[in-house]
Homo-oligomer: A and B are copies of this chain.
Amino acid sequence: MQVPSPSVREAASMYGTAVAVFLVILVAALQGSAPPESPFPYHIPLDPEGTLELSWNVSYVQETVHFQLLVRELKAGVLFGMSDRGELENADLVVLWTDGDGAHFGDAWSDQKGQIHLDAQQDYQLLRAQRTREGLSLLFKRPFGTCDPKDYLIEDGTVHLVYGILEEPFQSLEAINVSSLQTGLQRVQLLKPNISIPALPSDMRTMEIRAPDVLVPGQETTYWCYITELPDGFPRHHIVMYEPIVTEGNEALVHHMEVFQCAAEFESFPHFSGPCDSKMKPERLNYCRHVLAAWALGAKAFYYPEEAGLAFGGPGSSRFLRLEVHYHNPLMIKGRRDSSGIRLYYTATLRRFDAGIMELGLVYTPVMAIPPQETGFVLTGYCTDKCTQLALPPSGIHIFASQLHTHLTGRKVVTVLARDGREKEIVNRDNHYSPHFQEIRMLKKVVSVHPGDVLITSCTYNTGDRKLATVGGFGILEEMCVNYVHYYPLTQLELCKSAVDPGFLQKYFHLVNRFNSEEVCTCPQTSVPEQFASVPWNSFNRQVLKALYSFAPISMHCNKSSAVRFQGEWNLQPLPEIISKLEEPTRHCPASRGQSPAGPTMVSIGGGKG
């Protein structure tokens, strides 16, 4: 990174100020609709200092997002946009920049070297540029899809927002390279579902689960663990909603928070407030893993459907709760105090249905492995018709929320519902999934699962930086593929997952052996991870492993709890056969686009070096 010499920096700063002053706040050519009447329900700080703040709303009818970007201390410009995984290269951008004579706003893109180019087609449309007390406020909108191949397609799931600060003027857009700028990324679910708030009970009470007065460590990443407990004799209630409580000023610091219930088998848990990886943390806290509530940056309140609530309290459940707060502190700010947490809203008037959480995807076992150096390897776990037939009530269950989960190499996750061999609908999908951004998401549409349905969960992994195979397991360097679905009415089925039949995996190792002059140790005392570690990863062994996973019979976990299976034969089950796949929606790209101007919008006519 180039650091300009003080004099240059100083000049640039003066210059920037001048531009900011001269940035005449005219309402720039409003070629489209007026600013939306509804305010912006969603807000997020983009940078750790909070100098860039994004607000937005979503119109599903117009398939458009309106953005309001607040730039608190405008220098010579700003860039904002989206990219596949938060990289500044190959990004879809809007740029506000000045060439000294005026400020311009344009739809642009960065190439793989980070150089910026103006889009042939201008799809971000500036609606207003306004000086406010807080800073410069830019209002612009963009359709979800633009048909411009250089543009990002705004989809459900995670969106990686990127930003950059222009410290000095540039003669042209092409003169800008993102590598020389202060840049960053922020993950967010941009397309929030448009769900009306369910009616809330009149006897609703609240409970705040927060770690009081935490001194946030001056390091980039901290997971803070805090144990609290429900009042003695607290009876059974239903949680009907919850929302984050973020200490004012720490909005850019608190990344995500979860409340877990501890295991009922232990009478009590020691109190603790400290980093989760502390050596002082009592061992027993590892038994506090049953999720009650989860929030991540950008999310708002979470509401249960009107007819269901999540039970807590009462006999048979632990009084002890664990709060986990993830502090993301890249500027290593020291001395900051925080008391963030989650506010639970609950009722004693139990709703008609208990809500439950079911685990779909892959069993945590090393037989499911990803070869090294794969950029998009897919593993798939099944919840079979046989299991749903046995375990679901005749009227089915209704999935209303979902939390996707993998470890570090996960890049995409999707769960599809199939019926009679035909894919019917997507339960949840994230094409830009990040293991660093796992939130419980309300589904746009409740998905009903009937006995005999199949749920297929596929995860895509990138092991480009690994030297050895990545096997399934609990370790952070091992992998998982899980979708925690939130549903009602509660059933006994807690876990509906699969893995390849271990006998067929041994046949695979045997054939690898045969084709590769006995390099792989298949002696019976060898463990599966060791066998995978000795596979020479040539194209043949990679492709045959893929073929094996999409062919070999599976072993099903159709379980009441993590150890208790439903009765039946669950080994050597046939892979569910899918005879028709869901089609990708085709985006209708109009041949003549008309409205969008061909060039950037002139925002200011202010004179240069005043």
Contact = CB atoms under 8 A, between A and B. Distances in A.
Interface in A538-563: 538-540, 543-544, 546-548, 550-552
A507, A592, A593, most chain B CB atoms within 10 A: A592
A31 to B, nearest CB: 15
Nearest to A122: B591
Contacts of A515: 504, 507
B591 A120 contact: yes
Which of A121, A510, A514, A540 gathers the greatest number of chain B CB atoms within 10 Å? A540
A590 interface: yes
A121 B594 CA distance: 13
Interface in A454-506: 504
Contacts of A149: 589
Contacts of A551: 538-540, 543
Contacts of A121: 591-592
A598 interface: yes
A510 B121 CA distance: 57
A511 interface: yes
Interface string A27-39: 0000000000000
A213 interface: no
Copies per complex of this chain: 2
Contacts of A550: 539-540, 543
Contact of A592 (B507, B511, B539, B593): B593
A519 interface: no
Contacts of A119: 591
Contact of A511 (B148, B514, B539, B591): B514
A539 B546 CA distance: 11
A330 B511 CA distance: 53
Contacts of A543: 543-544, 546-547, 550-551
A549 to B, nearest CB: 10
Contacts of A598: 591-592
Interface in A356-399: none
Contacts of A546: 543
A324 B551 CA distance: 49
A87 to B, nearest CB: 21
Contact of A591 (B540, B547, B593): B593
A80 to B, nearest CB: 21
Nearest to A512: B511
Contacts of A510: 514
A551 B515 CA distance: 10
B592 A120 contact: yes
A593 B540 CA distance: 46
Interface in A118-176: 119-121, 148-149
A379 to B, nearest CB: 16
A12 B121 CA distance: 48
Nearest to A510: B514
Nearest to A594: B592
Contacts of A504: 515
A54 B369 CA distance: 58
Contacts of A514: 507, 510-511
Nearest to A552: B540
Nearest to A586: B149
26 contacts: A120-B590, A120-B592, A121-B591, A121-B592, A148-B591, A149-B589, A504-B515, A507-B514, A510-B514, A511-B511, A539-B547, A539-B550, A539-B551, A540-B548, A540-B551, A540-B552, A543-B543, A543-B544, A543-B546, A543-B547, A543-B550, A547-B547, A591-B593, A591-B598, A592-B593, A592-B598
Interface of A: 119-121, 148-149, 504, 507, 510-511, 514-515, 538-540, 543-544, 546-548, 550-552, 589-593, 598
Q: Give the 3 A-B CB pairs with smallest separation, nearest first.
A: A540-B551, A543-B547, A120-B591
Given A121-B592, A539-B547, A544-B547, 5 more contacts: A121-B591, A510-B514, A538-B551, A540-B551, A592-B598
